[in-house]
Amino acid sequence: MSSIVAFSALSVLLVVIPGPAVMLILKSAVARGRGPALLTALGVLAADLVWAGASVAGLTALLVSSQVAFDVVRYLGAAYLIFLGAKLLLTRGSAGFAGPDLAAFRTARPRSGWRAFREGLLSDLSNPKTVIVFTSVIPQFLHQGAGPVDTLVLGSAFAVLGFLSLSSYAPVFSAAARLLRNARVTRVILRAGGAILTAFGVGLAVERPAG
């Protein structure tokens, strides 16, 4: 029981710390609304469940043991975050800024749900820090002789806690966007989110592995 409490507390701490996923929730909520923001959180959940399954199969351990493979994931994740951040930084509106029109975010309803889900999924699948959670953090809470089911249960619990945390941001961000209802303020928020996403990407690319 003490291990479960400790694992739950650590998981909550890990998922509430703002990171790229929170910025993606902010972007989806402000630009597209609460529904797409929840789909972004669902994409992150799906990616975490994929990593949970990969950890049971031993694939995450193989990934961490290969510096080349780990760096490939790291650079792909960095490139994707920079790409998403750059798109937001180039968002334009009535002032005529270069880049994708702010209105395009709101009018692309048929594809916005899948796009929001995909962004959450790909950002988390290419996040090496998520891999470290499943290879270094979760095993510390497994008792001696624990089997694949125990690993899958803890990994799934971490994924669900992450989803609950991220999904709680969606109504807050979308409600704030509705209250503002100002294109200029919306552009500022999106560009700030873009700058943060870009900074996350650059930091991930230049980060030196421990040891």
In-domain check, residue 14: no
Cα pseudo-dihedral 170, 174, 123, 47, rounded to 10: 30
Host domain of residue 53: 20-206
**Tally of structural domains, the chain:** 1
In-domain check, residue 10: no
Residue 98 has what DSSP assignment? S
* pLDDT given at position 92: 60
In-domain check, residue 2: no
Share of the chain above pLDDT 70, in %: 82
End-to-end CA distance of the chain: 33
Cα pseudo-dihedral 164, 167, 172, 178, rounded to 10: -160
Residue 101 has what DSSP assignment? B
Residue 152 has pLDDT above 70, yes or no: yes
Cα Rg of the chain (Å, integer): 18
pLDDT in tens, 80-124: 889 988 888 886 643 333 334 444 444 445 456 888 899 999 999
In-domain check, residue 100: yes
Q: What is the pTM of this model?
A: 0.79
CA nearest to 112, candidates 30, 181, 201, 198: 30
pLDDT in tens, 12-71: 777 767 788 888 898 888 878 888 999 999 999 999 999 999 988 888 888 878 888 888
At 54, list the tokens.
């990969």
